[in-house]
C-alpha cells in the first residue's frame, strides 16, 4: 500500500525525534583560555569522551560574554579571539548535534580570565594613536596618553604595539615634567600600508615603587587612524588676475582618485576668508580669480 507524502514526512519526523530522544548531548571538556599574544586569547576545548560518534554532525557554539558580546559556531575545537584584556575575559562553549535537519544542544561550560592586577586609576587614559605613510615606504606610529590619576609620580609607562603576529616595544618616548612617559614614536613599523581593516593592538603597562600599575589595551583599525600627509611641492604664483596653485599627491598608497583638496584663502588687505574645494584632483592645478 502506498504511503502519502505527508504520512512519509510524519514518519521521518517521528523517527528522527525518537532518535534524538535516545541520544544525549554532552558539553565539551577541558575548556581553557590562554593569552597567546597581546590582546589575543586562545580558546581550546575537547569533545566529551562520553559523546556517541554516529552518523550525525557535531559543531560547537561559542559565546563571548565580555569584554564584548559575540556568538558564533565552529567545527574546530579551538578558536582565537582578539580583545582587550585589561578588564578580563569570559567565554562559554557548548556542543551542538545535528541529525536530519534537527538540532540538539548541550549545556554550557564556562571559562574566565581574571583582570590583571593593578591599583585603581593607575592605568593610562586618553590613549590616542595615528599612523603615517613615510617617504621610505614604511608606516610610522605615534601614540600619546595621560598618566592615570592615581599613578605615583615615579610611574614609568611602557608601550607595545602588535600587528598580526609581530610585537614591538617602543624605544622613543617623550616625558612629562615628572619624567613619566606620555608619548611614543615608531619611525617605522611592521604595519602594511595597503591592508584594509587590520587591527593595531596597543598595550601600555607600567611600574612604580609605590603601586602596582594596571595595564591598558586598545584596538585601533589601521585605516581609521591613518593621518593623511599634506600635499607635496605646493606652489602659488600670480598669472594676470589669477592665483595659480599647484601641488602633488601626498605620500600615500591610496590612488589619486581617493583625494580631494581644500584651499583656505585669506585676503590680507580686506581680511576676507574663503574655503575652496577642488573636485578635480587629477590636474593638481587650480586657478583662483582674485577679487
Mean pLDDT of all residues in 203-227: 96
H-state helical runs in the chain: 5-21
Mean pLDDT of 210-238: 92
Q: pLDDT category, 38, cuts 50, 70, 90?
A: very high
Q: Is residue 213 part of a domain?
A: yes
Residue 221 has which C-alpha cell?
583599525
Final residue before a domain boundary, out of 113, 129, 155: 113
Total domains in the chain come to: 3
Q: Which of residues 224, 257, 274 is at a domain's end?
A: 224
Give tens-digit pLDDT for 247-270: 888 888 777 878 888 877 777 777
Q: Is 234 part of a structural domain of the chain? A: yes
Question: Looking at the domain assignment, is residue 75 inside a domain?
Answer: yes
Q: Is residue 271 part of a domain?
A: yes
Give residue 146's Cα distance to chain centre: 21
Question: Does 134 share its domain with 201?
Answer: yes
Q: What is the widest separation between alpha-carbon atoms in the chain?
A: 103
Q: Does 18 reside within a domain?
A: no
Q: 74, 92, 113 — which closes off a domain? A: 113
pLDDT band at 240 (very low <50, low <70, confident <90, very high): confident
Q: Residues 164, 241: one domain?
A: no
**Could you tell me the pTM of the whole model?**
0.82
Q: Which domain holds residue 90?
A: 29-113
pLDDT of 289 strictly over 80: no
b/e map of 37-61 (b: 16 or more CB within 10 Å)? bbbbbebbbebbeebeeeebebbbb
Establish if 162 belongs to a structural domain: yes
Residues 6+ apart with CB under 8 A from 11: 3
Amino acid at each position: 500500500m502506498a504511503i502519502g507524502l505527508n504520512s512519509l514526512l510524519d514518519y521521518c519526523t517521528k523517527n528522527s525525534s525518537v532518535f534524538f530522544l535516545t541520544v544525549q548531548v554532552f558539553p565539551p571538556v577541558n575548556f581553557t583560555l590562554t593569552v597567546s599574544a597581546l590582546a589575543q586569547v586562545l580558546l581550546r576545548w575537547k569533545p566529551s569522551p562520553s559523546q556517541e560518534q554516529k552518523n550525525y554532525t557535531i559543531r560547537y557554539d561559542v559565546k563571548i560574554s565580555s569584554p564584548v558580546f559575540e556568538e558564533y559556531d565552529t567545527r574546530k575545537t579551538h578558536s582565537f579571539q582578539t580583545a582587550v584584556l585589561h578588564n578580563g575575559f569570559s567565554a562559554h562553549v557548548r556542543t551542538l548535534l545535528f541529525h536530519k535537519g534537527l538540532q540538539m544542544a548541550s549545556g554550557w561550560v564556562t571559562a574566565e580570565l581574571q583582570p590583571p592586577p593593578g591599583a585603581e586609576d593607575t592605568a593610562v587614559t586618553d590613549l590616542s594613536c595615528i599612523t603615517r605613510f613615510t617617504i621610505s615606504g614604511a608606516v610610522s606610529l605615534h601614540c600619546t596618553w595621560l598618566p592615570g590619576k592615581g599613578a605615583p609620580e615615579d610611574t614609568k609607562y611602557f608601550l607595545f604595539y602588535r600587528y598580526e603576529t609581530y610585537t614591538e616595544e617602543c624605544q622613543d618616548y617623550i616625558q612629562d615634567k615628572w619624567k613619566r612617559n606620555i608619548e611614543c614614536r615608531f619611525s617605522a613599523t611592521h604595519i602594511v600600508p595597503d591592508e584594509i581593516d587590520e587591527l593595531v593592538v596597543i598595550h601600555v603597562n607600567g611600574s612604580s615603587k609605590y603601586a602596582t600599575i594596571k595595564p591598558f589595551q586598545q584596538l585601533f583599525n589601521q585605516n581609521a587612524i591613518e593621518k593623511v600627509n599634506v600635499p607635496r611641492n605646493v606652489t602659488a604664483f600670480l598669472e594676470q588676475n589669477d592665483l595659480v596653485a599647484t601641488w602633488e599627491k601626498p605620500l600615500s598608497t591610496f590612488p589619486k582618485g581617493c583625494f580631494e583638496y581644500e584651499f583656505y584663502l585669506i585676503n590680507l588687505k580686506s581680511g576676507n576668508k574663503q574655503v575652496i574645494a577642488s573636485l578635480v584632483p587629477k590636474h593638481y592645478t587650480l586657478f583662483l580669480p582674485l577679487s
